[in-house]
Amino acid sequence: MEAIELKFMLKLLEFTGYRAPISKIKPNQSTKAPQRDSICKKLCDRQLVACVEEVAKLTIAPPGKGLLELEQTELPVTAVELKALKACTKGIINSSDTGIKAAARQAVLQSLVERGFIKAVKTKITEVWLTERGQEFLLSEYESNSTATISLKMLSDYLRFMRQSVQKQETRSPGATDFSGTVSAPAIAPSDEEILQLIRDLDQQLRTDNYLPIFHLREKLQPPLSREELDRALYRLERNNLIELSALQEVIAYTPEQIDAGIPQNIGGRLFFIIVE
């Protein structure tokens, strides 16, 4: 790993949940935006960081053109997705030219890109965070004989990161259900098994038919967990085939705040529903 890539990762430790707008990440004072974005993509390829990459410019793809030739009653898209498709027929346009409200725009466009109806001509990174893999790398794997220097601020952030990691391992405690039958939040960080049980309890209580929106879980677990910590726990549960995370398609059914509670992806809409396997 190059020193500037390590500095990129250490810079993220400065922020809550190790997550920040990409504009806040500057490994060196002389680092320009194109170099910063290139470093980010290299680290994403190694799964050490993840980022939100928004559609900036777009155009309609052949499947999208074919879809518009169908009868209105046969279209497998929502009204707002249809609006975006029609806007794209003019050629390459900016995302704002679709006429979709900013709060829902990217979720709609990412869904259309994922299904092949539109093509992203230009994208831009807006947010970046340290993944669970990246944290494990910093804690357990990174070694170097390089004489490159880091700032005392980066060193301080790294030492705090190490102390917090040790403390989290020592403060695991189960949640509880009160006498009214309402699921209550755990007082301190729960284990993955306890999070899985909380998902089951919330699904039963809210009657979401095994499609629990993530914002309900965030309301219960943030705090004691940060947003990034809960995201990592959900990814672990998914890797262990205990849950499945599903993307949101019908954005008009939820508020912008509820949509924002989903987990952004590099490609495609936000992961929004939790399905217990």
**pLDDT tens string 17-38:** 888 899 999 888 888 999 999 9
Q: How many CA atoms lie within 13 A of 190 on its CB side?
A: 24
Range of the domain at 155: 3-48+131-169
Q: Are residues 148 and 14 in the same domain?
A: yes
Q: Are residues 112 and 249 in the same domain?
A: no
Q: Are residues 19 and 67 in the same domain?
A: no
**CB atoms < 10 A from the CB of 15, how many?**
17
CA distance 4 to 39: 8
CATH of the domain at 90: 1.10.10
Do residues 208 and 171 touch, judged by C-beta distance below 8 A? no
Q: Are residues 28 and 145 in the same domain?
A: yes
Q: Cα dihedral sign for 254, 116, 19, 217?
A: positive
Q: Are residues 116 and 212 in the same domain?
A: no
Q: Are residues 240 and 177 in the same domain?
A: yes
Q: Are residues 30 and 42 in the same domain?
A: yes
Domain boundary among 169, 199, 223: 169
Domain boundary among 141, 169, 197: 169
The count of structural domains within the chain is 3
pLDDT tens-digit readout, 131-164? 888 888 888 888 877 788 888 888 888 888 888 8
Q: Are residues 64 and 121 in the same domain?
A: yes
Residue 67 reports pLDDT greater than 60 = yes
Q: Are residues 147 and 44 in the same domain?
A: yes
Domain boundary among 145, 169, 193: 169
Residues in a beta bridge with 118: 60
Per-residue pLDDT, 139: 83
Q: Are residues 22 and 72 in the same domain?
A: no
pLDDT tens-digit readout, 193-204? 888 989 998 888
Residue 265 reports pLDDT greater than 80 = no
Per-residue pLDDT, 133: 84
Q: Are residues 37 and 144 in the same domain?
A: yes
Q: Are residues 89 and 144 in the same domain?
A: no
pLDDT tens-digit readout, 75-113? 778 888 888 899 988 899 999 898 888 877 888 888 888
